[in-house]
Amino acid sequence: MIETLKKDKTVRWIILGFLALAITGNFMEAWVQNNIMFGLARGLAVLGLMVLWRTGLISFGHALYFGIGAYAVGLVDRNLGISDIFLRLIFAVGASAFVGFLLGFILRKYRGIFFAMLNLAFSMVLYGILVKVESLGSTDGFSVSQTTILGWAPENKYALFAAIVIACAIGAVLVQCYLKTALGSLTTAIRDNELRVEYLGFSVARAIHVKYVMSAGLAGASGALLAMALGQVDPDSMVNWPVSGELVFITVMAGPGSVIAPFLGGVVFEFLRTYAFELAPEAWQLIVGGTLLGIIFFLPMGLWSLLERIWKRRGVSS
């Protein structure tokens, strides 16, 4: 296993790339660092969605797990006073993966638009509940105390930035490993033809269930990291349907080409929005929507395919 990992080009790129990012992060302008941090944190959820998408499934409701992760961090902070990043992540991933595991029994039977919409329904039920619960601050949400790392309370955001970079690297490597396993390599096969996969002796439902739990856990981790980076949880920016839409948006923008793509997409999205807000406070949606349209039109395999094309061309000429 370790040997194959070493040989895997993507894994090497992930480690090198994230290492470079972690080092340079310290020298970045605060706002750049911050945008990258948010983008990467969102990228984790997108990574999960990408695995599902390769199977031909897309979820319009992963804000459910994103929100569970975020609120898990908020709740363990408020009720148990847990501020350690690892413990927070464990609770968040555990809670979201557990819910994903339960709902997975229902959802694994669904495909296409029904899968997408049932996810949406579940996420909106959670949204409806959270808005009603006054002790959780209703729509205002509540704040999350500062995150510590093994008892150390860092003075600036860089420590959290580095931790998020590392968490994303670990997530990317794990997913890459999974995709290389037998079950993982069925991913695209399931999309192309489920019956054939069944004939090969694999349970499609089970394979989808595993991927679903994985994507739920990743979305939970993503929500947890974002809650820690923001210092605040609230239903409208964590659980409401536009959050799910945004995640799908980034998934498509990034493209399914590589496990690195989601992080690239997340960061690009964050910068796109920042500049759209700044340049056109009255019409930023126009810029965001136009970009989405443009990408789907000219780059249906996402930004990653653009990079691949550039690399290939360079490879040929040199």
Partner 1 sequence: MLAQVLTIILDGLNYASFLFIVSVGLTIVFGVLKILNVAHGAFYAWGAYAAAYAITQASELGYPDWIGFLLIFAASIIVGLVLGSIIERLILRKMYAQDEVLIALATFGLFLVLEDIILVVFGVDPYFAYQPMAVLGNVVIGGVFRDVYSLTLFALAVVVAVGCWWALTKTKWGKLIAVVIYDREISQAMGINVSAVYLIVFIVGAMLGALGGAYVAPTTSVAPGFGIDVIVLSFAVVVIGGMGSIPGALIGSVMVGVLRAIAVHQFPELELFVVFAVMAGVLIIRPEGLFAPPKARTI
Partner 2 sequence: MKKLFTRGVIRVSALAACCAVGAMMAGTASAKDSIKVGVVTFLTGPAAGPFGVPGKNGAELVIDAINAGTLPAPHNSKGFGGATMEPVFIDEAGGGAKQVAEYRNLVEKQNVDAVIGYISSGSCMAIAPVADELQKLTIMSVCGTPRLFEEKPRSHVFRTQGNAVGDSIAAARYMVEMFPKMKSYTGINQNYAWGQDSWKFYDLAMKKLDPASQASDKPQFPKIFSGQYSAEISTMLLDKAPVVHTSFWDGDIEAFMLQGLVRGFFQQKKLVSVVGGSAVDSLGKKFPDGVVLGTRGKYGLLVREDMSDPLNAWFVTEYKKRYDVYPLGPSYQYAKAILYYKLGMDKAAKAAGGSPNQDQVMSALKNMKFNSFDGEVSMSLGEGRQAVHPVGYGITKWNAKKGEPGIEKVKYYGAECINPPAGTLSEDWLNQGMPGAKCN
Among 125, 153, 166, 310, binds partner 1 (CB under 8 A): 125
**Which structure tokens are listed for 46?**
């997108």
- What 3 state SS string does 4-38 have? HHHHCHHHHHHHHHHHHHHHHHCCCCHHHHHHHHH
Nearer to partner 2, 85 or 130 (CB): 130
Q: How far apart are the first and last CA of the chain?
A: 33
Residue 30 CB, shortest distance to partner 2, in Å, is 4
Closest to partner 1 by CB, 153 vs 280, is 280
Q: CB count, 10 Å around CB of 161? A: 22
- Sign, CA dihedral 58-304-46-260, equals positive
Q: How far is the CB of 196 from partner 1 (least distance, A)?
A: 9
Contacts with partner 1 in 139-198 (CB under 8 A)?
193, 195
Nearer to partner 1 (CB atom), residue 57 or residue 225: 57
Interface with partner 2 (CB under 8 A), residue total 50
- The DSSP output letter for 152 is B
Residue in the structure block whose two tokens are 């394979």: 207
298 belongs to the binding site for partner 1 (CB under 8 A): no
Name the residue nearer to partner 2 (CB basis): 55 or 123.
123
Please say whether the beta carbons of 317 and 271 come within 8 A.
no
Binding partner selected for residue 17 from partner 2, partner 1, none, CB under the kind-specific 5 to 8 Å limit: partner 2
Single-letter amino acid, residue 122: F
User: Interface mask (CB under 8 A) for partner 2, residues 31-60, using x and -?
Assistant: xx-xxx-x----------------------
Q: At what angle do helices 204-230 and 85-107 cross, to 10 degrees?
A: 150
Span 250-289, contacts to partner 2 by CB under 8 A: 270, 273-274, 277-278, 281-285
Q: Which of 19, 102, 113, 310 binds partner 1 (CB under 8 A)?
A: 113
Minimum CB distance to partner 2 smaller for 25 or for 171: 25
Q: Cα angle vertex 51, ends 50, 54, to 5°?
A: 85
* Binding-site member from 5, 28, 90, 117 for partner 1 (CB under 8 A): 117
**Cβ(172)–Cβ(50) below 8 Å:** no
- Which residue, 202 or 284, has its beta carbon nearer to partner 2? 284
- Near partner 1 by CB under 8 A, which window of 120-128, 164-172, 180-188, 309-317? 120-128
The bridge status of strand 142-143 relative to strand 232-233 is antiparallel
- 58/169 with CB nearer partner 1: 58
Within the chain, residue ranges assigned H as helices are 2-7, 9-25, 30-54, 63-80, 85-107, 112-132, 158-180, 182-185, 187-192, 194-199, 204-230, 235-238, 241-254, 261-279, 284-298, 302-317
| Residues in contact with partner 1, shown as a per-residue x/- string from 232 to 261 under the rule CB under 8 A | ---------x---x--xx--x---------
How far apart CA 296 and CA 309 sit, in angstroms, is: 16
Interacting residues with partner 1 (CB under 8 A): 53, 58, 106, 109-110, 112-114, 116-118, 120-122, 124-125, 127-129, 131-132, 193, 195, 241, 245, 248-249, 252, 282-283, 285-286, 288-293, 296-297, 300
Interacting residues with partner 2 (CB under 8 A): 12-13, 16-17, 19-21, 23-25, 27-32, 34-36, 38, 131-132, 134, 137-143, 226, 230-232, 234, 236-238, 240, 242, 270, 273-274, 277-278, 281-285
